[in-house]
Every structure is written in structure tokens, then in C-alpha cells.
Structure 1
Amino acid sequence: MSDDVDPGAAERVARRPAGPDESARASRLWWERAADEYQAEHGGFLRDAGFVWGPEGLDEADAGLLGPPDRLRGARVLEIGCGAAQCSRWLRVQGVAEVVGIDVSHRQLQHARRIDEETGVRVPAVEADAQRLPFADASFDAVCSAYGGFPFVPDAAAALAEAARVLRPGGRLVFSVSHPLRWCFPDDPTERGLTAEHSYFDRRAYVEEDAAGRAVYVEHHRTVGDWVRAIAAAGLVLRDLVEPEWPAGHDRVWGGWSPLRGRLLPGTAVFCADRP
């Protein structure tokens, strides 16, 4: 469809419900337009084969949230919302037996193929929606998502249930999202971003619309309690909730993330859960 290929630019912001199809379409269209700029701006920080959980720079090499390296080497891992597959590629470099990525954006996956060719480290990747994973039950030993699909779907419990479905018993799910507290504040790295403007309990989606009222970007908000209940509803057991602190000497500004805000407010939440 022509409007899927050439969406209108964002003209206004709305706070309103957005269903699964509208949310998936908006994410696909937004990333088709933004992928080149995103990789050009952030690729150096993410590294061709690097695994950072968020703008604070928490590195899986240090955090070990997916588990001990020796256990992972024989594992099969799925990355949801892989983008250019930097995290997946890092796992392969560490010797993980099999890593598969999915992303809703064809353009992001083209960047993944480009980096595959440049590095010689290849990651199989599929264009797919986190709400409908194209894999059999109990296919993976671990599932990870670093700011991948989960903030952009309307039904977090259903998406986490999909992730749990493809996990083998004893498998682990680790995913990072914008810290729910950030929803209260404007997406501004300066002092203006330190003044709360929105209710933490307002679950309406943040929707950028084009002139015709079509969503071109959608992000959904959950409280910490919402995420915990969604994890439990998926049949998973929460093992850890990591709130990375802004490290000394880290001066990178990324959207609303900055050293100024990072010293005072958590910007990222990383949830670690196991399938019994």
C-alpha cells in the first residue's frame, strides 16, 4: 500500500488508545524513515558487535543479565526488536551457538545485513512483529530485547506471553524499556526535563499523527507495577529489576537522556525473568 511506503510526517501529538495493528504499522513506518539517521548517529555507541541495555551504557559484558557465558555458549537465543542486530552479533562473537533476531523494520534489517558483510559475523534475522513471533513453542533458551518491541505494543502481557511461549522451561527473558518514571517528564535533556508534566498513572499511548490523523509513531506506557503483573501473567518469575545509574564521565546526550537528568532520575528499567 502506498501509505505504508510513504507515510506523512508527524504533525501533532495525541494521547489516546492505539491498538495492535495501528501500533505495529506506526513502528514499521517510523523505523523505515528513521533507520539510516539512527544508525549514523548511534552506531558508534552501539558498536557493530556490542550489547548495551540503554543510553546509560550498561553493558551485558559487565552486567551478565542473560546468565553465565559458559551456559550461554550452547544456547539458542532470540533478540526481539534487534535493529541492526548489534546485540545479537555480540552474542555470536562470545560463542553463543545460535542467535536469531527479529525486527518490524525492513530498513533496520538491511543495516543488519550490511554490518554482517562488513564484520563477517552473520546473524539470521526475520522481519516480524513482537506481538506475533513466527517460532514454535519452547524454541529458545533465552530471549532478550534492548529497547526492542515491548514499549511499542498495546498489550504488554500478550507480548510477554509470546516471549514466554517460545522460551524453553528454565529459559530466561531479559528486556529493557524506558523507565516508567520518565513518562512523567518531558523528553528534554535540559533542566526543563526535570519538571514533571504528566501523570505517572496516565496509561494513554503517546501518538504522533500525520495531517490525516494516522499514527506515525506510537509508544505505550506502563507503570512498574504494570510490568511486574504482565511478567507474572505470562507465567514468568521476576528475578531482578535493574535501574542503571548514569556512570561518571559518560557525557553522551541521547534524546531525553543526559548526564544532568541521569544523575537524578532513572532512565532505563531492565527486567530479568525466568520461565519455570
Structure 2
Amino acid sequence: MKSDVLLANQKSWNQAASRFYGRNPLPEYGPLAPKEDELNLLGDVAGRKVLEIGCGSGHSLLYMDQRQAAELWGLDLSSAQIESATKLLANCQAPVHLFESPMEHDPGLPHGYFDLVYSIFALGWTVDLHQTLSQVHRYLKPGGVFVFSWEHPLHNRFTQQEGNLVLTKSYLEEGAYKHEAWPETAIMQQFRVSTYLNACIQSGFVIEQVVEDVSLSDEDIEKHAKGWYNAEKAAAVPTTLIIKCRKAQA
């Protein structure tokens, strides 16, 4: 059941929160992926009301504050993450509103209010993609922008074996799975690129940009030399999918 998965994921994130503190926040969209400095998907956020889905330790919201966003809003499933974000953002210039909540649920956020909603490497944790996207659509003003990133659907379909990449699971298979690099019991969701795109369209969004590029700078290669994501694999299979879409004008 979805509620059981949410509880398991909440427990896992409360246990793992310190290990992921400040990992890959904006301007990063994901490991070995182009950064916001290069992509400029968010535009000028000064004076904008922003909401982060899966705000984690709050470092991406801090990035927004440093760029003069008018209001900082965030939600996260994990109480440990919300506690960390509350401490990190205590001295922000902009007012901060944080909610402990699954992304599928509306914890009382204003509708038709936000200029920008974003989610950095978090959307694959949803237990209901369509419900999550529908919530985001409700939160945004007409013309508002939604940008999200997640592990590219092809990445965990391939494994490295004796210097070769081997397809070990069908790309066409979708649904819940336990990530082999995740030590705690936690359930993520596998979707094809087309599923993400179609779900956005069905929720009322207009797709503006899709990014599957890889960044293999010396800094990126060194940072991820021994991790789940590495340059050798990323040279053939992208690590990160980034999608920018917009709520249509009324």
C-alpha cells in the first residue's frame, strides 16, 4: 500500500538524513549533470515566491535566499530533514515556511501562489506521480514554472561488468523498486522518460525543456570517482533527467 511505502521511506530518510546533508543542492541538479549556472532554467528568482518539493536539508532554499527570492517554502517527508532545514535557514533574509509532508499530500500550501516550484533529485520518491504533479500545478500561478530533476531512467538499467555496460533490466519496466545503492529499506519509483513527460502534460503543464546532458569536468569526475555515479558510466548513459515546464496562462 502507498501509505506503507511512505512510512518506510520516512523512516529511512530520518535514519539517513545526516549522510545526505547538503549533498548536491542547487546550483547542482544531480551528479555529473550540468548546473544551473550553465542551464539558467530558473531565471532571475529575485522577488519570486518559490517552493521546493523534497527540500531535504534546505541547502537549495538557501541558494534561493542568496539570490533574493521573496519567500522560501519547502516540504519534505522527513522530520529530520525539516529539523536540519529549519536550523540552516534560521537567518535567511526571506520568510521561511517549512512543512513535514509527503509530496503527494497538500499540507495547507496556498494555491495559485508560487512563481516557481522546483524539486532537485527528489521526485522519484513519489508514490503517486500524477497526484504529485497535480498538486504542483495547483500551487503555481498561471505562467509559473516547475523544474525538477531525478536519476535518469536508463542509469540503473545498466551495470558495469568487467569494463562493459550490461543491460540488466528492461527500460520498459516501470514501478516501485529498492535502489541497490541505498542501504536502508526504501522504495523509489522507476518511470520512462515518456511517462514523466506525459504525466506533466496530463497535469496541465507545457513542456519547455528537457535536459539529459552530462558534465564531465575534472571537478565533477573527481567528486564522483568512487560513487554510484561515475564518469565512465556517465560517458555512455546519462545520470540525470531534468525537465522544465510551465503552467499555462489562464
Measured after TM superposition, the shift of residue 75 of structure 1 is 1.3
Q: After TM superposition, what 4+ stretches of structure 1 lie above 6 angstroms from structure 2?
A: none
Look up the equivalent residue of 2:92 and give its one-letter code. V
1:66: which partner in 2?
42
2:150: which partner in 1?
177
Measured after TM superposition, the shift of residue 32 of structure 1 is 0.5
Residue 191 and residue 66 in structure 1: after superposition, are their counterparts in 2 closer, same or farther (change >3 A)? farther
1:202-260 Cα shifts (integer Å, max 9, x gaps)? 1131137xxxxxx9300111101111110011000111101131322122227421111
**Number of residue pairs matched?**
238
1:138: which partner in 2?
112
Cα RMSD of the aligned pairs, angstroms, is 2.1
2:19 is the counterpart of 1:37: yes
1:128-162 Cα shifts (integer Å, max 9, x gaps)? 110012213212111000012x2012321221111
Q: TM-score, normalised by structure 2?
A: 0.87
Residue ranges of structure 1 left out of the alignment (5+ in a row): 1-18, 209-214
2:69 is the counterpart of 1:96: yes
Pick from 227, 233, 238: which aligns with 2:196?
227
1:201: which partner in 2?
172
2:140 is the counterpart of 1:167: yes
Residue 191 and residue 252 in structure 1: after superposition, are their counterparts in 2 closer, same or farther (change >3 A)? farther
Alignment partners' CA distance in 2, 1:26 and 1:64: 35
Alignment partners' CA distance in 2, 1:257 and 1:191: 17
Local SS of the residue matching 2:38: helix
Q: What does 1:1-276 correspond to in 2, within 5 Å? A: 19-39=1-21, 43=22, 46=24, 50-56=26-32, 58-67=34-43, 69=44, 72-117=45-90, 120-121=91-92, 123-134=96-107, 135-148=109-122, 150-186=123-159, 194-207=165-178, 216-249=185-218, 250=220, 251-253=222-224, 255-276=227-248
1:7: which partner in 2?
none
- Relative to its length, the structure with more helix (as a share) is 1
Measured after TM superposition, the shift of residue 185 of structure 1 is 2.0
Whether the 8 Å CA contact 1:23–1:152 is kept in 2: the answer is no
Measured after TM superposition, the shift of residue 59 of structure 1 is 2.4
Alignment partners' CA distance in 2, 1:246 and 1:143: 24
1:50-104 Cα shifts (integer Å, max 9, x gaps)? 431101253223321112x1xx212111000010111111111101111111111
Give the percent of matched residue pairs that are identical in Structure 1 and Structure 2: 26
Whether the 8 Å CA contact 1:101–1:126 is kept in 2: the answer is yes
Residue 110 and residue 193 in structure 1: after superposition, are their counterparts in 2 closer, same or farther (change >3 A)? farther
Residue ranges of structure 2 left out of the alignment (5+ in a row): none
Alignment partners' CA distance in 2, 1:141 and 1:257: 32
Whether the 8 Å CA contact 2:6–2:127 is kept in 1: the answer is no
Alignment partners' CA distance in 1, 2:133 and 2:56: 19
Whether the 8 Å CA contact 1:246–1:263 is kept in 2: the answer is no
Local SS of the residue matching 2:30: coil
Whether the 8 Å CA contact 2:33–2:214 is kept in 1: the answer is no
Alignment partners' CA distance in 2, 1:52 and 1:270: 11
Local SS of the residue matching 1:126: strand
